[in-house]
Structure 1
Amino acid sequence: MNNVLTEQADAGYRLAEQKASQYFTSLRQQLIDNTYTTALTQDIHVWQKKHIHRFAWLSLLSPSKRKPDPRDVHRYIHWLNTTGKLDDYLDRSISYIYMRDLGQALDSPGTQTRIQNVVQNTKKYFVGSATGRKGQTDYISLAALYRWGQKEHIESAVIWVMNKLKNVASNIPKELDAEQAQRKLIKIILGVVLHVDDEMNEQTPPEERARRFDAAIRLGYSYGLTYPFVDDLLDSQALTVQEKEQYSLMIRDALLTGVVPDLGEWKGSNLEVIEYVHSELREAFEYIKNYQHPEKRRTFLEQSYVFFQSQEIDRNKKLANANYSNEELYIPIIIKSSSSRLIVRSVLSAPVDEGFDLRTFYYGIYNQLADDFADMFDDMEEGAVTPYTYYLKYRDLRPDLINPYELYWAVISHLIHDVYNSDAKTREVILDRAINGLKRCKERLGQQKYDEVMTIFASGQPEFNQLVQQMVRKADDVDFLDKLLRDQVVLQLKNDKQEKEEFKQTIRTVREQINVELQIVKPGGLHEMKETLIDAANYSLQGDGKRLRPILTWVMGVREYGLPESSIVPLLRSLEYMHTASLIFDDLPTQDNASTRRGRSTLHHVHNSATAELTGLFLIQKAIGEQSSLDRFDAATVLRLIQYSAEKAEDMCMGQAMDLNSKGKALTLEQLNMICFYKTGIAFEAALVMPAILAQVKEPEMATLKKFAYHAGIAFQIKDDLLDFEGNHLILGKPAGQDERNNNSTFVSILGDEGAKKEMWEHYCLATDALTEMPKPIPFLRHLLDYLVGRER
């Protein structure tokens, strides 16, 4: 059976080869006839009238007219808007996406109308959206993504994909470029969403929009997953040669049969990685297959096989082999570059569109040659065979080799005149993109290296190249939004990774310091009963506590407000003493009746309830004593802090009383929010506000800290409720399902599992909004918020 399926699939690939061979032959003929330079020279002369500005030096005299670094997204978008360039910038950017990702022809009035609608909506988002600190907006953030999900009523799909992306980031092997892998995955998801969005209009019912966007997100992730976990993984050194062969056979078998085979016995050392990848890909494969109409499944499998086979052929080339023909170099990339986009429509079970299929087929190699040009030195270093790396190595030995840079321009000419019928808008956008690519290359390589590259690749057409290089030097207004966002995403992912590591390191370091400081020393000559209380207190303090509150106080006090570390140690101790006392009381039989806390038996189980109650009181008094010993600050400030602390302790007691009184009662969401804030949010507020009091921070900032604490605290409690509902008691350090056994009203019992997740992310967004109101960014608080909603215990 498999032999028959293999023969059918290989026959499909041979048809794709024939089509690609015909296209390649026509391109090669244009190179031989040199017709492309004549046509493009005329195109560039027309194009340059819009892009070569006389007296551009006058703009240097006006700071407001001076172009900022595009890497500063906020300033750059603002500059484009104030100089009147934003509309054109967005128009060419969105037009390019419609050509590249959606396979549209720009001479269609309907397409132009849709492009202009997207342009105006995009402009509104960038210019008119709510601004935060110093007029800045977080264009790329989890909060922004969730807000869009709310607008389209697809919160569950957004939460699902955010969790999936987090898990992928955690499981990407170290041998892969994690940021680029995540970027590709995000790009594919956006591409599928764009396809679906373009097929709808204002008359599409909201329910249908929600259904189709929900599916697009899940399909985009499912298809996009193949880039990091098939293409990148097989290209990397993460797997051994034997593992790659076993993995490739498994993928091939799935595409031939339509069924993902079991993992079976894995012959290699990367079993843990492969188990995760296999599980995710199987789930993704099944989702795509089940979404599609039965008659479309075979098409999807056939196109996927063609795509995979072309990648395998390319992947198995060796740079040491000096005998590859031009056909062997170019035909597989024509196939894979076009089929990768055709698969998107196949994934969506979209109807056949001959115009789309043809445009996409011809367009693919343009993008692939541009990408390979940008990556040629990285590819050379890795020994990868691309038309550029192969030409670099063998150009002097193989005069028959086609120059890929010249072919790139031949493709551009073919697209403008033969595929898009010499449409002026198409010419504008494609030439914008080509010149932008060379400008970026020149900036990345530096003038000397760039000139060396051009000497190698562009010397065959000196007059044409001279014109192109003149455009590279002088032409302006060729930047693109997708490039800007791509750079921003990669930069943000790298920064986030570094900040997250710093966040974790801070947590570890400060937690260890605090743990050393917490133990209560027993001086000689103590009464036996006081020794018992101190032992009981130390037992509770020694548990595997997260110490979030004192760590938060340390970060705000020392890092943000510059308070001497030694001066606030008493405050750190007081916060943990108060928190631990509250846990002791919570666990009592008269309250939550918990048997374990912080991974071991609760205090009343080790001793008795009376001892536990007295230990809690003892720790509260120790906390007050610590606060009163803050002798490095003036008395009035310390008194204000103690008064604030006493008020918050009263509020926490009230919150616990409200919680106990609510047992067995059906609470409203408003009532639960109130109880949650007084029980949990208050402690976060105190951890933020107390160091602010010592630093004598002004009231507006204090109010912002309280707003953040309120929403972060509720998000924290909702996550606790979700973990109690679905968590693992071995990870939690306490029994799961305790709320249900105690008949407690929780966010899960009131809102359900999905509703609780939505409410948590709502508070996440509101806490994020509060952070934008702070005088300066505080990365620790942003990562703390991510931790609160993403933790497993």
Structure 2
Amino acid sequence: MKEVINADQSYQQVEEQARHYFQLLNEQVTKKSYIPKLVDDFQKWKVNHIHHPSFFSFFSSKQKKPSSKETMHYIKWLDYTNKLEDYLKRSISYIYLRDLGKTLEDQDTQSKIDQVVGDLKGSLIDSTKNEKKELFGFDWIIQKGKKEQILLTVDWMLSKLNTVSANIPEELDAANAQRKLIKIIAGVLMHTIDAMEEDISPSERREKLDKAIRLGYCYGLTYPFIDDLLDSDLLSKIEKEQFSQLIRTSLLTGKVPPLGSEWSEATLQFLAYIHTELKEAFEYIQTQQSSSKFFEQAYVFFHSQEIDRQKELSNKTYTNEELFVPIILKSSSSRLVARSVIQETEDDDGFEQRTFLYGIYNQLADDFADMFDDLKVGAVTPYTYYIQHQQHRNDLINPFEMYWAVISNLIHNVYHSHSETREVILNRAINGLKRFKEKHGKKKYEEVMKQFASGFPEFNAILQKMVEKGDDVDFFDKLLRDHMVDHFKIQRAEKEAFKEKIQIVKEMVNQELLITPDLDAEFQQDLVLEAANYSLTGEGKRLRPIMAWFVGVEMYGLEEVSLLPLFKSLEYMHTASLIFDDLPSQDNASYRRGRPTVHEMYNVAIGELTGLFLTQKAIEQQTLLEKFDSKTVLELVRYSAQVTANICKGQVMDLESKGRRFSKDELETMCFYKTALGFEAALVMPAILAKANEKEMNALKKFSRHAGIAFQIKDDLLDSEGNFENLGKSARMDLENETSTFVTILGIEGAKNEMWEHYCLAIEALESIPQNASFLKLFLNNIVHRDR
């Protein structure tokens, strides 16, 4: 095997550095020299964090602190109590320390932190004014992409995240996988933005942001698809060895080996996708590297993880060095990789050294928080190993003591006793203990403290007072982490429920659609009726009746049975429009809904008459809305007639587009008449029956306009990029017919940009609808992410 990096040399060099660091920390633990320094630190710290309640605070219900799980209420409370700015300042300062390896005493760093805090504070306050806005959700990402003019990159990223969510094995937890990916992407973006010159040109900025997002995703895949996978029970022991060897070979040789066939059938079902995605990611990263530094650091990261992963909790002989050195390496290299992947390899005034020394602080905090989960699966960490063997191994270092020795070393030796740095680090440490206590309860917490803190009773007494009395120690990134995980889980559940409900409504509509023959008819073979039912039994999406169901039943609370005629009417109208659209005099399409079109199956005359027949049947169904007063039904019929007439105008524009080049504005007008009006009818007609007010009607119309145009753009993209199997009709028909589409006018990239522009405008329209219209947002997401 020809190696392109010197793996042994790379690892041995940093391993030796880690050993020296461990010995330094071990000496402080042995001598307990860190304790007097930390006692003094806490004396200074408590001035700002232990508050005595005022008399009036007992009578102020508004000042009652809400749970941070109530995200918007919590942010409102922070703003109301004038704590929001300090809260954000310590949070962003911590990120600059941990992720960017900065020093807070640097004035340039302080200026950047203040700017981020100001921008973030404004965004959060704005979010609290409209609780329908999702905090830093996908809509926010799209809006940021629009502002930075990188919507195509955002489109690529969202498509990747959706694919990961859809393909990841359930045991790997899709919500956490998405969170980790977004976190790594954000981390790489932060490094990229931090390294940008102030006078960078807009085009160069876009190029760097695009590259950072793609590299962040590619590197981020290693967390769910390597680290989490190897920690899970999805692979057998032999399969884990095989997969680890595949990753090792890739890093050493620069080439990803084939997956091979020596896997169980169940494993191959998900591993084939993982291998393909990792291979694509690896090869992209490789094209962006001008040196071997990324792969050397990635190897250190992977190998140190492997050393820890292969340990067994039952083994009684691990030395302290064997326990602590790998976590020094993996915790520091994970952050060094995030910087080297974008080729920012300059030391930046001590970045690498600070990052190397800082990493174990986070790792020991994370291992403390996860110790019970780690114990359940038999994972070896300094905490689980201490719990398991401490009674028989007097030589074992107490990891909780090591944790505080690390904190003291960082404050005084790395950051030179800088007061603000001390504040941030101690805030984070106390916050971690508070979160642990809240999660596991007071009794369990006290048991843990008895086991880990009995060796320094005086310091522990001070520490527990800080945990009990200390305030203003929470962090935005923790809130965001919890919020994102909850949001992704809720979103996933909503999507599944939405899909199930769509299928239920679709089946209900399908059962009602077929038109029964007229028993009094004088002729036996009714070809028009036969053709109508043929067209209705095709595999249609039934989008319009489904949309009407959600608005009528879920949004306005109307009875489903009373709306059945409306559902049938909408599908009859839509199917009629497709029959006309497919005729030789118009698009001359041979396939629709996966089978021959009506005029191909019968003849052109039958096709024309069938379209007219279904249009009249649609009106007939509207007159059967007997549960509603006649004036309201009459208004609905009048509106329906107007919409049908206007849709015809849109089709005329479509026909005139053949052979001539439309402008973007003309295309949008045509799409409004041809597609968006059909969506509008599906939303407005049930709203008419519910007697919705003008503001709600206008919001539904605005949403329909932009959702309809986004739908048509997606159709154009699918026609350009799709295939018959997915579409159910021939692809690239627009090109053959010389039809003006968003793709032929704007190109694929321009069309995607335009689709996301209309997505954003449709989302904005939903904000003014007082009822719960979350299904419309899900519907909109289905539009832009569908493959047919």
Aligned counterpart, 1:257: 253
Amino acid in structure 1 at the alignment position of 2:59: L
CA offset digits 1:343-365 (Å, max 9, x no partner): 12211111331611111011001
Q: Deviation at 1:523?
A: 4.5
Aligned Cα RMSD in Å? 1.6
Aligned counterpart, 2:286: 289
Relative to structure 1, is the Cα distance of residues 566 and 669 closer, same or farther in structure 2, using a 3 angstrom cutoff? Answer: same
Q: TM-score, normalised by structure 1?
A: 0.97
Separation in structure 1 between the aligned mates of residue 283 and residue 99 of structure 2, nearest angstrom:
25
Amino acid in structure 1 at the alignment position of 2:60: S
Q: Deviation at 1:567?
A: 0.6
Q: Deviation at 1:82?
A: 2.4
Separation in structure 2 between the aligned mates of residue 567 and residue 432 of structure 1, nearest angstrom:
60
Q: Give the match's secondary structure for 2:104.
A: coil
Aligned counterpart, 2:206: 210
Q: Deviation at 1:141?
A: 2.4
Separation in structure 2 between the aligned mates of residue 242 and residue 34 of structure 1, nearest angstrom:
44
* 1:620 and 2:620 aligned: no
Q: Deviation at 1:56?
A: 5.0
Aligned counterpart, 2:186: 190
Separation in structure 2 between the aligned mates of residue 552 and residue 787 of structure 1, nearest angstrom:
12
Relative to structure 1, is the Cα distance of residues 65 and 132 closer, same or farther in structure 2, using a 3 angstrom cutoff? Answer: closer
Q: Is the 8 A contact 1:52 1:474 kept in 2?
A: yes
Aligned counterpart, 1:199: 195
Relative to structure 1, is the Cα distance of residues 133 and 55 closer, same or farther in structure 2, using a 3 angstrom cutoff? Answer: closer
Q: Is the 8 A contact 2:594 2:728 kept in 1?
A: yes
* 1:154 and 2:126 aligned: no
Aligned counterpart, 1:171: 167
* 1:33 and 2:31 aligned: yes
Q: Give the match's secondary structure for 2:726.
A: helix
Aligned counterpart, 1:313: 307
Matches within 5 A, 1:276-355: 276-293=273-290, 296=291, 298-353=292-347, 355=350
Among 129, 135, 144, the residue aligned to 2:140: 144
Amino acid in structure 2 at the alignment position of 1:327: E
Aligned counterpart, 2:8: 10
Separation in structure 1 between the aligned mates of residue 524 and residue 756 of structure 2, nearest angstrom:
48
Q: Give the match's secondary structure for 1:175.
A: helix
> Unaligned regions of 5+ residues in structure 1, if any?
none
Matches within 5 A, 1:344-493: 344-353=338-347, 355-493=350-488
Relative to structure 1, is the Cα distance of residues 759 and 57 closer, same or farther in structure 2, using a 3 angstrom cutoff? Answer: farther
Q: Deviation at 1:132?
A: 6.4
Aligned counterpart, 2:121: 123
Among 537, 541, 546, the residue aligned to 1:546: 541
Matches within 5 A, 1:506-545: 506-528=501-523, 531-545=526-540
Q: Deviation at 1:777?
A: 3.4
Separation in structure 2 between the aligned mates of residue 642 and residue 109 of structure 1, nearest angstrom:
68
Aligned counterpart, 2:496: 501
Separation in structure 1 between the aligned mates of residue 236 and residue 83 of structure 2, nearest angstrom:
51
> Unaligned regions of 5+ residues in structure 2, if any?
none
Amino acid in structure 2 at the alignment position of 1:556: V
* 1:108 and 2:106 aligned: yes
Q: Is the 8 A contact 1:133 1:774 kept in 2?
A: no
Amino acid in structure 1 at the alignment position of 2:241: E
CA offset digits 1:611-645 (Å, max 9, x no partner): 11111111111111111011111111111111111
Relative to structure 1, is the Cα distance of residues 411 and 56 closer, same or farther in structure 2, using a 3 angstrom cutoff? Answer: farther
Q: Deviation at 1:125?
A: 2.2
State, as a whole percentage, how many aligned pairs show the same letter. 56
Q: Give the match's secondary structure for 1:579.
A: helix
Amino acid in structure 2 at the alignment position of 1:103: G
Q: Deviation at 1:146?
A: 1.9
Aligned counterpart, 1:230: 226
Separation in structure 1 between the aligned mates of residue 616 and residue 55 of structure 2, nearest angstrom:
71
Q: Following TM superposition, where does structure 1 have runs of at least 4 consecutive aligned residues deviating by more than 6 angstroms?
A: none
Q: Is the 8 A contact 2:151 2:756 kept in 1?
A: no
Separation in structure 1 between the aligned mates of residue 58 and residue 32 of structure 2, nearest angstrom:
41
Give the total of aligned pairs. Answer: 786
Q: Deviation at 1:499?
A: 0.2
Q: Is the 8 A contact 2:555 2:772 kept in 1?
A: no
Separation in structure 1 between the aligned mates of residue 250 and residue 481 of structure 2, nearest angstrom:
32
Among 40, 43, 58, the residue aligned to 1:42: 40
Separation in structure 1 between the aligned mates of residue 135 and residue 711 of structure 2, nearest angstrom:
25
Separation in structure 2 between the aligned mates of residue 69 and residue 399 of structure 1, nearest angstrom:
42
* 1:610 and 2:605 aligned: yes
Amino acid in structure 2 at the alignment position of 1:405: F
Aligned counterpart, 1:97: 95
Q: Is the 8 A contact 1:585 1:591 kept in 2?
A: yes
Q: Is the 8 A contact 1:339 1:361 kept in 2?
A: yes
Q: Give the match's secondary structure for 1:787.
A: helix
Q: TM-score, normalised by structure 2?
A: 0.97
Amino acid in structure 2 at the alignment position of 1:713: G
After superposing the two structures, state which structure 1 stretch, 91-100 or 525-534, moved more.
525-534
Q: Give the match's secondary structure for 2:672.
A: helix
Q: Deviation at 1:530?
A: 6.7
Q: Is the 8 A contact 1:183 1:486 kept in 2?
A: yes
